[in-house]
């Protein structure tokens, strides 16, 4: 059996690692990197730290509009699957590489599995939401990280026989590597961790200015550690916001997975617009404030330590103060967020002769 994994952007890397490890020795595996993320700080270091083998094929697509990037991946990826003839193609998450590969497989009749299926924000202005919906419509096997994913797919009329609840593969990677995680030197004993990269926060000057002002205000209460995404840095510089003294707002370059994981674990609280960080902070039990109007991971709110803030920065200020006063809610881990999702996926895709099928 040949199983071909497709990754393209850094969130995919944390998801593919435990699946590759669990399938080792069961089948032939090929790893295709589309090159959607190509900055060394955003890509190569993750392969090194996660123990992922060097990609067998790198399509080196690079940046472009959604249409251009998706089309170029489809053209290049079609040649790969026609040459390799995999028994399964496995795609991860909700980036352009995910949906492009899914469409190619659907057209060619190649069995497709989607890891992290069923997540929905119900906001179609987010490109990721379109990618999630389209990929789930054509996938033959939908591997969900949490029960709400199963519920979403059932509501959309997806055949439940195609859906398997396997747990969260990102948590597999976190559990495996947390003992190796270490903080970058020079950080304060107590700090808040910040990440911002989504267009509705960083591309709108009014919003970015308001966020920057609030971060500086909150930094008077607790130091802010802010690894800056390249796009975010460019926007801040273009607005002249990085000038002047911001001694309690500690600006860092993008971090490797192990460093950032240690920072999440150590942080008093996290402010983010990332999807995966909502999950990781839930597992770690760290208060998380999501600077988005919605989330495709509501289980991190209903069961975890996450709170949706939207653009209400006064609410953010109030809740940060609550954390500092010790009054923030405690969460718990959702079902099957136990470090074994990769093993469950392997048992479904390539069961051992005496193990039966499925989970």
Work out the burial of residue 311: count CB atoms within 10 Å of its CB; fewer than 13 is exposed, 13-18 middle, 19 or more buried. middle
Q: How do the residues of the chain divide into helix, strand and coil, expressed in percent and rounded to 5?
A: 45, 15, 40
Residue 189's SS3 state is: coil
Starting at the earlier edge strand, list the strands of the sheet with 88-92. 57-58, 28-33, 2-7, 88-92, 112-115, 141-144, 163-165
Report helix, strand or coil for 256. Answer: coil
| Contact indicator for 180, 260 with CB cutoff of 8 Å | no
Q: Using CA atoms, how far apart are residues 193 and 274, in angstroms rounded to an integer?
A: 12
Rounded to whole angstroms, how far apart are CA atoms 350 and 346?
6
Residue that has been written with the tokens 């990677």 in this structure = 173
Phi/psi at 127 (5° precision)? -55, -35
d(CA 185, CA 5): 35
* From 33, 37, 114, 197, active-site residue: 197
Annotated active-site residue 66? The verdict is no
Question: Within 10 A of 66 (CB to CB), how many other CB atoms are there?
Answer: 12
* Pairing of the two strands 224-227 and 249-252: parallel
Instruction: Please give the DSSP secondary-structure letter assigned to residue 298.
Output: T
User: What whole-number distance in Å separates Cα of residue 345 and Cα of residue 332?
Assistant: 23
- Rounded Cα gap, residues 37 and 151, in angstroms: 32
User: How large is the angle between the packed helices 10-23 and 341-349, nearest 10 degrees?
Assistant: 60
Residues identified as active-site: 197
């Amino acid at each position: 059996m040949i199983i071909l994994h497709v990754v393209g952007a850094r969130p995919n890397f944390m998801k593919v690692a435990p699946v590759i490890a669990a399938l080792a020795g069961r089948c032939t595996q090929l790893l295709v990197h589309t090159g959607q993320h190509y900055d060394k700080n955003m890509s190569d270091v993750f392969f090194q730290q996660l123990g992922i083998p060097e990609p067998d094929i790198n399509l080196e697509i690079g940046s472009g509009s959604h249409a251009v990037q998706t089309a170029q991946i489809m053209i290049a990826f079609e040649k790969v699957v026609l040459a390799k003839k995999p028994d399964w193609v496995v795609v991860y998450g909700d980036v352009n590489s995910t949906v492009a590969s899914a469409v190619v497989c659907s057209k060619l009749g190649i069995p497709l599995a989607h890891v992290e299926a069923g997540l929905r924000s119900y906001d179609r202005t987010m490109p990721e939401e379109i990618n999630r919906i389209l990929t789930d419509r054509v996938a033959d096997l939908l591997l969900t990280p949490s029960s709400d994913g199963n519920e979403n797919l059932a509501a959309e009329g997806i055949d439940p026989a195609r859906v398997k609840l396997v747990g969260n593969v990102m948590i597999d990677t976190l559990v495996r590597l947390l003992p190796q995680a270490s903080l970058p030197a020079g950080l304060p004993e107590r700090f808040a961790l910040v990440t911002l990269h989504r267009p509705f926060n960083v591309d709108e000057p009014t919003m970015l200015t308001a966020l920057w002002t609030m971060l500086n205000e909150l930094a008077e209460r607790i130091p802010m550690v802010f690894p800056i995404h390249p796009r975010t840095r460019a926007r801040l510089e273009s607005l002249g916001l990085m000038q002047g003294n911001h001694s309690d707002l500690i600006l860092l370059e993008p971090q490797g997975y192990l460093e950032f994981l240690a920072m999440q674990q150590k942080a008093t609280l996290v402010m983010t617009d990332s999807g995966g960080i909502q999950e990781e902070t839930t597992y770690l039990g760290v208060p998380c404030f999501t600077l988005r109007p919605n989330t495709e991971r509501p289980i991190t709110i209903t069961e975890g330590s996450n709170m949706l803030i939207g653009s209400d920065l006064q609410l953010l200020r109030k809740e940060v103060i609550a954390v500092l006063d010790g009054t923030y809610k405690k969460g718990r881990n959702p079902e099957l967020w136990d470090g074994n999702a990769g093993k469950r996926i392997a048992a479904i895709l390539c069961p051992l002769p005496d193990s039966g099928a499925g989970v």
